[in-house]
């Protein structure tokens, strides 16, 4: 009798990573509207999400454990999507868009094919003040250039700052250029937007010394006492700190420099001051 041929069981078909990508072709999709608005307004959405763009920033968000809500890829970035999807939580919504639609939403001139909406942790004055003995607090008071604020964030993390306050007149930390220039440091540093009128009494109540930076006048940087808690105020690129804020300062720091140089770039000046603080506090 002829035996029945042995039938081998076929393995169950599993979904590929690419199956997670949901195609969206129309600009009226609600998540696309929220992404566009978050980029345009440079502030969190009603859901508390901010918008980021670019491969490096998305990788930094993932590395920092950020809560990604939605990730958007362009069709031409499909290979990138398949590479990144294993790192993205399976519960995160992942969308793929036609190139023209994606490029019309993101603000950069040379899109890299990936953007995201994410929720960053919300900080408070109390949280930041509790960290004031760990390192200097930074206060950006009227800093308007996104590149400078991004540099400030990056240097703050590199040199051990405890956290940052952004007061009136300062570019939004949710501005896409600020986020890009921070190179991911904004994901790992506590920060808060607050008015100086509210902030200064709170700093005073906690015994925080208030230091301002200046071009040529003040205590030379090597002679400054870095006894904590302290807050370093960085003013506007052109005008510096307002007269009202200067009257509130306990001390002004001067970075020694050639007399013919009017002033340093705000981001550079802040980085030098932060390095000196770290060198003296940590004995680098």
Rounded CA separation 199/183 (Å) = 27
Q: What is the DSSP letter of 6?
A: P
Q: Are 171 and 201 in contact (CB under 8 A)?
A: no
User: By three-state DSSP, how is residue 240 classified?
Assistant: strand
Residue 70 is encoded by which pair of tokens? 């939605």
Q: What is the mean pLDDT of residues 209-229?
A: 90
H or E element: which one contains 144? none
Phi-psi region of 163 (alpha: psi -120 to 50; beta: other; left: phi over 0): left
Rounded CA separation 140/147 (Å) = 13
Q: What are the structural domains, with CATH classification, of the chain?
A: 18-119 (3.30.1330.30), 125-282 (3.40.1280.10)
| CA distance readout (Å), 106 to 54, 102, 138, 174, 179 | 10, 7, 30, 14, 14
Residue 16: predicted pLDDT:
59
Q: How far is CA 61 from the centre of its chain?
A: 10
Task: Tell the residue number behind the tokens 């009226």, with chain if given.
Answer: 28
Share of the chain above pLDDT 90, in %: 78
Q: Decide if pLDDT at 13 tops 50.
A: no
Q: What is the DSSP letter of 236?
A: B
If pLDDT is split at 50, 70 and 90, which confidence band does 10 have?
very low
Rounded CA separation 50/216 (Å) = 39
User: By three-state DSSP, how is residue 276 classified?
Assistant: helix
Helix then strand then coil, % of the chain, to nearest 5:
40, 20, 40
Task: Tell the residue number behind the tokens 């992404």, with chain if given.
Answer: 35
The dihedral through the CA atoms of 25, 29, 35, 37 has a sign that is positive
Q: Are 166 and 231 in contact (CB under 8 A)?
A: no
Angle formed at CA 129 by CA 209 and CA 136, multiple of 5 degrees: 50
The reported pTM is: 0.88
Q: How many CB atoms lie within 10 A of CB 86?
A: 8
Residue 257: predicted pLDDT:
83
Q: What is the mean pLDDT of residues 78-98?
A: 95
Question: What's the farthest any 2 CA atoms get from each other in the chain?
Answer: 106
Angle formed at CA 85 by CA 80 and CA 89, multiple of 5 degrees: 150
Q: What is the mean pLDDT of residues 29-39?
A: 95
């Amino acid at each position: 009798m002829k035996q029945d041929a042995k039938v081998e069981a076929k393995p169950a078909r599993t979904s590929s990573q690419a199956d997670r990508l949901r195609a969206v072709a129309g600009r009226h999709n609600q998540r696309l509207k929220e992404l566009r608005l978050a980029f345009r307004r440079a502030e969190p959405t009603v859901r508390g999400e901010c918008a980021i763009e670019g491969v490096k920033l998305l990788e930094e968000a993932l590395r920092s454990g950020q809560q990604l809500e939605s990730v958007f890829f362009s069709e031409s970035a499909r290979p990138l999507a398949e590479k990144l999807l294993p790192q993205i939580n399976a519960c995160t919504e992942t969308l793929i868009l036609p190139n023209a639609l994606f490029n019309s939403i993101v603000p950069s001139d040379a899109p890299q094919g990936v953007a995201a909406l994410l929720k960053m942790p919300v900080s408070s004055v109390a949280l930041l003040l509790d960290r004031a003995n760990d390192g200097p607090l930074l206060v950006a008071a009227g800093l308007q250039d996104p590149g400078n604020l991004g540099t400030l964030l990056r240097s703050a993390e590199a040199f051990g700052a405890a956290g940052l306050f952004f007061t009136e007149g300062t570019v939004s930390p949710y501005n896409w250029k600020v986020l890009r220039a921070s190179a991911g440091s904004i994901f790992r540093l506590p920060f808060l937007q607050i008015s100086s009128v509210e902030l200064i009494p709170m700093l005073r109540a906690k015994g925080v010394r208030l230091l301002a930076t200046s071009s040529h006048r003040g205590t030379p940087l090597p002679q400054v006492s870095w006894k904590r808690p302290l807050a370093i105020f960085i003013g506007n690129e052109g005008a510096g700190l307002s007269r009202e804020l200067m009257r509130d300062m306990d001390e002004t720091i001067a970075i020694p420099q050639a007399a013919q140089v009017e002033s340093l770039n705000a981001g550079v000046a802040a980085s030098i001051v932060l390095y000196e603080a770290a060198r003296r506090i940590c004995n680098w």
